[in-house]
Amino acid sequence: MPKEPLSDHCSNPNHDSRWTCPACYTDLGDVGEGTITCPHCENKIVCTLEYEPACHARLADQDDDEEEDDQRD
């Protein structure tokens, strides 16, 4: 019988092959996408792989700086 869950969602940022059960925080390892039953708490878990958007900023070459400033005018 499933135990009372600690949470209903859990994510592992910067991982694409490691899932954690949100109900009991057991490391499920590389189970892949799909529905599984947690071996520890017996709750059914839907595992998905999602990518979150991120903003990137990089330093430009100093020569590029003048060109881009000119384009904004």
Q: Give residue 28's pLDDT.
A: 93
What distances in angstroms separate CA 58 from CA 24, 25, 29, 37, 50, one per listed residue? Answer: 40, 36, 34, 43, 25
Q: What is the pTM of this model?
A: 0.64
pLDDT tens, residue by residue, 13-35: 888 889 999 999 999 999 999 99
Task: Tell me the pLDDT band of 73, cut-offs 50, 70 and 90.
Answer: low
Q: Please state, rounded to an integer, the average pLDDT across all residues of the chain.
A: 82
Q: Is pLDDT at 45 greater than 80 in this prediction? A: yes
